[in-house]
Amino acid sequence: MIGSGLHDNLRMKASRQFGLYLILLHGTALAVAFVFRDTLGLWFFAIEAVLVISASLGIWLHRRAQAPIHLLDSFSALLEESEFTTRLSPTGLNETDQIIAVYNRMLDTLHSEYRQLGEVRGFFQQFIDTAPIGLLILDYDGAISIANPSLCGLLDRGADTLIGKRLSGLDHPLLEHLQTLETGDECIVTLDGSRRIRIQTSEFIDRGFSRQFALFEELTRVLADSEKKAYETLIRTMSHEVNNTVAATRSLLQSCLTYQDQLDTEDRQDYHTALTVAMERNQQLNLFMKAFADLVKLPEPVTLPTELGPILTQLEVMFSGECQQQNIRWVTVLPEQSVTVLLDRALFEQALINIVRNAVQAIGKNGVIQVSLATDPLRILEIRDSAGALYEEDREHLFSPFYTRREGGQGIGLALVSDILGRHGFEFDLFGKGAQTVFRIEMT
């Protein structure tokens, strides 16, 4: 160390000066006594003895005075090396031993605090590495210094591609939103049409300076469960009231229908027609509520290894008649080898039917639907239609229950699809690509 080297040089210079002082003092006295040795006689030898004793005493006192300084040098070296387990032994000198005792007590305290700090640091590092919440910490210059595994998973990037980089130099929607937040702010970002991530920012003081950090928490499942509980309660209440009313109304209408023979012939037909229309509307209301009830009663998937090719072929056959009537061309692209996925066939087919139904309704007439399956490197199923790109503001609400832009729509089709695919653990997204709308399913 520069400071330590300078201190050693000064100490050595002082030692040389003191030694030179002893030599000059005692040498001068010895020379004077030697000049007057004849006059001094036997006193000359006494003076020599005194000078020798004086020089020895001076050297002893100098070394005694230097002992604490040597101890301080040892203290400094041990502290610089963070060597908190070494203890100094007493020297027998009272003043020096007092310093050693204080130093040893200080080392005991430092060692205990250093061990506790190491334990806390180890716990903190383990917490960062295993926390399900993404953590990003910036250094003093605004570059990323810590990115835990959860954050790397959310960003789909390795820590080595993030550490040391500034946020402005990284291209990702989450980091772009982070740059727009002030310290203490938070927001919810929608990714891939269905994933929702909450970003919270804050700061802490490190060595007297402020450093920023951000937390990234995936709320997709939490919000989905919360929404589901809310609309389940609503649907059950509606179903109970509507079904009771529908059942009573149907019974009354059927009873009224038996009185048609008592009417005049000219009124009988109108009476029958009016009651029949009312009963049909009653049945439509019952079917309307059943669609909502099906969303609530969705069973847990029972997954089995299932080949996708036959499912997609049957899907084309199922919609062939409707597509021909509306002049919609169907294109199926399958890989040469068969693709098998662990899924619940009945539920998965229901999800595909809802996706294709939305595509057919969105096209109306004169369009194209393309169903393609790829296996390199991931098993990805895409359903494309030529109905045009989505509204960007709609993407955040596409899979929310009751949200629809279609006139007469109920807004439960994509909510049902989201629930089914989510229960299978499949990643999915609905997005616009040029003049097309693409529903993409990534299957594990």
Fold of 304-443: Heat Shock Protein 90 (3.30.565)
pLDDT band at 3 (very low <50, low <70, confident <90, very high): very low
What 3-state DSSP class applies to 195?
Answer: strand
pLDDT band at 307 (very low <50, low <70, confident <90, very high): very high
What 3-state DSSP class applies to 387?
Answer: coil
**Concatenated DSSP letters of 62-74:** HHHHHHHHHHHHH
CA dist 413 and 418 (Å) reads: 9
What is the DSSP-derived secondary structure letter of residue 358? H
Per domain, the residue ranges of the chain are 2-118, 131-218, 225-296, 304-443
The helix or strand, by DSSP H or E, that contains position 203, with its residue range, turns out to be: strand 195-206
Q: What residue spans of 297-412 are helical by DSSP H?
A: 308-325, 345-363
Half-sphere exposure of 165 (CA within 13 A, CB side): 16
266, pLDDT greater than 90: no
Chain-centre distance for alpha carbon 378? 24
What's the confidence (pLDDT) of residue 6?
43
Report pLDDT digits (tens) over 246-258: 777 878 878 887 8
Contact 202, 212 (CB under 8 A): yes
Q: Can you say whether the dihedral through the CA atoms of 372, 375, 377, 381 is positive or negative?
A: positive
274, pLDDT greater than 90: no
Alpha-carbon separation of residue 31 from 28, 384, 429 (angstroms)? 5, 113, 104
What's the confidence (pLDDT) of residue 251?
81
Place of tokens 């490197």: 377
Contact 315, 352 (CB under 8 A): yes
C-beta atoms surrounding 208 within 10 Å: 5
Report pLDDT digits (tens) over 411-429: 667 878 888 888 888 988 8
1, pLDDT greater than 50: no
What is the DSSP-derived secondary structure letter of residue 336? S
What's the confidence (pLDDT) of residue 83?
63
pLDDT over 70, % of the chain: 76
Report pLDDT digits (tens) over 196-215: 888 999 999 888 888 999 99
pLDDT band at 327 (very low <50, low <70, confident <90, very high): very high
What's the confidence (pLDDT) of residue 371?
93
Alpha-carbon separation of residue 285 from 235, 278, 281, 296 (angstroms)? 14, 11, 6, 17
For 440, phi and psi rounded to 5 degrees? Answer: -115, 130
Does 131-218 carry CATH code 3.30.450.20? yes
Strand 186-191, strand 195-206: pairing? antiparallel
